Structure 1
Amino acid sequence: MAVPTSLRRAVLAGILIIALFLFLRPSSPSAPDPPSYQGTPDPREQPTRAYPPPQSPKKPQVDQTSIQDIASKPLRERLKFHFPYDVESKFPAYIWQTWKAGPDSGNFEDRLRPFEASWSTLHPGFVHEVITDEAALHLINYLFASVPEIMQAYEAMPLPVLKADFFRYLILLARGGIYSDIDTKALQSAADWLPEKLDRSTVGLVIGIEADPDRPDWKDWYARRIQFCQWTIQSKPGHPALREIVATITEDTLAMKRAGSLRMGRAPKKSIMEYTGPGVWTDTIFSYLNNREYFDFSSRKSNVTYSDFFNVREHKKIGDVIVLPITSFSPGVGQMGSEGPEHPMAFVKHEFDGSWKPADERM
């Protein structure tokens, strides 16, 4: 007797949810560590940096009382508690992408297959996941069950692009690894993004410059004079910059929801660039680099500013953050000093497909 299609779909959906639960459940003393990779540093050389990276937190002995009390703490403290940061840990070998349908479905568009395949081909030892919109909802609910405001904010966002932006910060905060938009093509393995001599135990976040427009009308084209891209980000879980942007977006969203200014299907008054995009991401990075809670400023006479990243042509390390030149994640754009995709520093090519836009509005 033939099995009804609806029953087959229900069974497959159940298997998917169970697999995600087993794969993404938090590590315990008896559970294996997540996949990771670490380059071999040259012990004779030390990385240069403007000032020291944050110290790795010692894992505290938490008693039952503090666990019960944590629910009453402010949002940032709860995020810090549930997603601790250890700069000396290895980068998790995860690649995260999002799309409306998975690559194994009949609805995954052919134009995206070469992009998606490039990541798996160049990262054979990595876990590569394309999270669908439906799966993202369940995944966030699972990962952030202890911080209910996160799910409330995610569900309140009126546009898919806002949720896609928010998801990248959430998954990296919770699990770490690499997030990259579905319309990006991997040109080199992430194992080659950083110099071999660089001690990766001092690096917790890898970002790239999206824009360095040395022109008087830069505000007509970009959100910031120096703008960091967020279509590709690599991080270790719990990084303070990710914690801050997640908290900022959550608070902004819930404030707009309370004010009644969010309407499903309509763009909010606050622009996407400033709400969840590269504007707020760039601000968060600069805020982190100038936060005396994390860094020793005794060797600096001024704050980190835009000028620290003008005309960058190679890796630049400030604290535990590596900033890559525009060529690394934006090769071939033909301006602002970007070299071609064949350049040794070209790691990821963004096709600017505009996948989240209607088909007639894509570039």
Structure 2
Amino acid sequence: MLAPLLKSGRFLRLVAIVTPLLLVLLYILHVNWEPLHRSLGTTQAPQSSKPSSVPVSNSEETTARPISSFSPKPDSSDADYYDSRPPSSPSTNNIQNENSPLYKTAILGIPDKVWQSSKTNQLEKNQLEWVYTWTEKNPYHRQELLTDESAVTFVRAKFSATRPDLVELYESIPIPILRADLLRYLMVLADGGIWSDLDATCEKEVSEWVPEEYRDKPIDMIVGLEFDMEWHGEGTQVASQFCNWVFAARPSSRHLQAVVDAVADTLRKIAADNNVPMQKLELEMLSDVVDVTGPKIMTVWVLKSLSKALDRPIDDREFHHIKQPKLIGDLLIMPGNSFAAAQNGHPDDQSDELVSHHYWGSWKDADKEAKEHKKKLQEEAKQKEEEEAKKKEEAAKQAEAQNQADGVV
């Protein structure tokens, strides 16, 4: 009875229809089609781990949302960006996919993020061109620009619970350049990543910044020499200076925390010394911006923090005239050509230029004007003192002459 059924045309047609369907279903199960797996309630992990190494795949998430005109040009080599990097241990930072054992950042422990700030999101044409270089060279990096208004929101969100004193200080500072300096430290301290001024361009992929021998080493912060100076002797302040138009750090960097605390203490002391609240602080009250919030105070306190961590003094002798990046403890110091090639005369015996600085900072004009105004005030005060002294001298002479006329010895 079964044999005639198997030989019937109806059964053969049924087999011809069902067999391809079964083969298609088996193929779908084999290649792990996710919608089908979800409908079947399976939880099998994908076979290929390669896509997981790319945390963000669309342009909306890799570019700075506040600047609506950002549209980094795609590159044919983008897909191989992460896969071509030397293998390194998975990072443990606090950005997207941080818990994935397959996720790696371009620099171990430092989030793939570029921070920038501006008064508004309306940038000049040349600024936009400079800004684009970061995502063109690093298509998988997030890029975020904070405006004056969104910066306040950011600082409140990140520090209100743990450091309300910093929120109060930031909102009280009346001088734009001082706020801008403090903001860059707070942004990277809170979330980690790379800070870049709007007039700095990325010349080489961030994944290539760290030499091979340091790629698996813990790095707390990356800085570059702006001024490469010789040691001035025992008991003197560090002579060299790191630039602060570009630097990088892991979230909650201890060296960056030391800088933030030093800046806060210095600003409060200046206000107290001048008997004014922070809101009344003026540029004329400062010795120099670089010493109060800028690269000099950053240099001094990064090295003090490193000295404390290593329990030994760190000074210019450790990194003067370096030709290649040098890791001291967990601080990676770049030679002058890396971040400040123009400042250092484009030396041809050092490692590659990583960042170009175009020195377009408008704050310098305000700082120069403030210094000139301060000098004028000092000259006026000195002239007034001399006039007062001259008046007193003349009054004393008149009194003496009168006394002699009256016969008083």
From 297, 301, 304, the equivalent of 1:287 is 304
Q: How does 1:151-230 map to 2 (within 5 A)?
A: 151-213=167-229, 225-230=239-244
State the shift of 1:355 in Å: 3.1
CA RMSD of aligned residues (A): 3.2
TM-score (structure 2 length as normaliser): 0.58
CA shift, 1:349, in A, is 0.5
Which residue pairs with 1:324 in the alignment? 334
1:33-64 deviation line (CA, Å, top 9, x unaligned): xxx99964589xxxxxxxxxxxx9xxxxxxxx
CA distance in 2, matches of 1:129, 1:305: 34
Secondary structure of 2:201's counterpart equals strand
Aligned: 1:253 with 2:267: yes
**CA distance in structure 1 between the partners assigned to 2:253 and 2:118 by the alignment:** 25
Residue 143 of structure 1 and its aligned partner are, at CA, apart by 0.8
2:324 partner amino acid:
E
Structure showing greater relative contact order (alpha-carbon pairs closer than 8 Å, 6 or more residues apart):
1
How has the CA–CA distance of structure 1 residues 148 and 315 changed in structure 2, closer, same or farther, with 3 Å as cutoff? same
Give, in angstroms, the shift of residue 89 of structure 1: 6.4
Specify the alignment match of 2:314 in structure 1: 304
The CA deviation at 1:361 is: 7.1
Q: What is the CA–CA distance in structure 1 between the aligned matches of 2:299 and 2:368, rounded to whole Å?
A: 26
| 1:193–1:347 contact (8 Å) kept in structure 2 | yes
Asked if residue 352 in structure 1 is aligned to residue 359 in structure 2, the reply is yes
Find the counterpart in structure 1 of residue 166 from structure 2: 150
1:254-275 Cα offsets, whole Å, 9 max, x none, are 3444531642564433421111
| Alignment deviations for residues 267-287 of structure 1 (CA, whole Å, 9 cap, x no partner) | 433421111111111111221
How far the C-alpha of 1:199 sits from its partner, in A, is 3.2
Matched, 1:137 2:156: no
Paired positions, count: 266
CA offset digits 1:86-120 (Å, max 9, x no partner): xx962111100111122xxxx32112111111112
> Which of 101, 105, 114 is matched with 2:120 structurally?
101
Corresponding letter in the other structure for 1:239: S
The answer on whether the counterparts of 2:117 and 2:197 sit within 8 Å (CA) in structure 1 is yes
What is the rounded CA distance, in whole Å, between the counterparts of 2:84 and 2:158 in structure 1? 25
- Contact 1:40–1:197 (CA under 8 A) maintained in structure 2: no
Q: Are the aligned partners of 2:226 and 2:343 in contact in 1 as well (CA < 8 Å)?
A: no
Letter in 1 for 2:249: S
Task: Quote the offset at 1:253 in angstroms.
Answer: 2.6
In the TM superposition, structure 1's runs of 4+ consecutive aligned residues that sit over 6 Å from their partners are: 359-362
TM-score by length of 1: 0.65
Contact 1:207/1:233, CA 8 A, preserved across alignment = yes
Aligned to 1:235: 249
Return 343-352 or 322-331, whichever deviates more: 343-352
Question: What amino acid is aligned across from residue 320 of structure 1 in structure 2?
Answer: D
Q: What pairs up with 1:3-152 in 2 under 5 angstroms?
A: 40=86, 90-102=109-121, 107-146=122-161, 147-152=163-168
* SS across alignment from 1:208: strand
Separation (CA, whole Å) in 2 of partners of 1:316 and 1:167: 27
Indicate how the Cα distance of structure 1 residues 173 and 145 shifts in structure 2: closer, same or farther if over 3 A, else same.
same
CA contact (8 A) 1:156 1:253 kept: no
Q: What CA distance in whole angstroms lies between the structure 1 residues aligned with 2:334 and 2:254?
A: 19
Change in 2 beyond 3 A, CA 1:198/1:179: same
Q: What amino acid is the match of 1:339?
A: P
Quickly say closer, same or farther: Cα 1:189–1:268, change in 2 above 3 A.
farther
* Contact kept? 2:231, 2:238, Cα under 8 Å: no
CA contact (8 A) 2:109 2:219 kept: no
Deviation (angstroms), 1:360: 12
Distance in 1, Cα, partners of 2:231 & 2:259: 29
In structure 2, relative to structure 1, the CA distance for the partners of 1:207 and 1:37 (3 Å cut) is: farther
**Structure showing greater Rg:** 2
Structure 2 equivalent of residue 81 of structure 1: none
> What displacement does 1:344 show?
5.1
Higher helix share: 2
- Maintained 8 Å contact 1:178/1:235: yes
Alignment pair present for 1:272 and 2:300: no
Q: Structure 2 unaligned runs (5+)?
A: 1-64, 67-81, 93-106, 370-409
Question: CA 1:360/1:243 → structure 2, altered by over 3 Å: closer, same or farther?
Answer: closer
Does the CA contact (< 8 Å) of 2:117 and 2:198 recur in 1?
yes
Q: Which residue of 1 is the match for residue 48 of structure 2? A: none
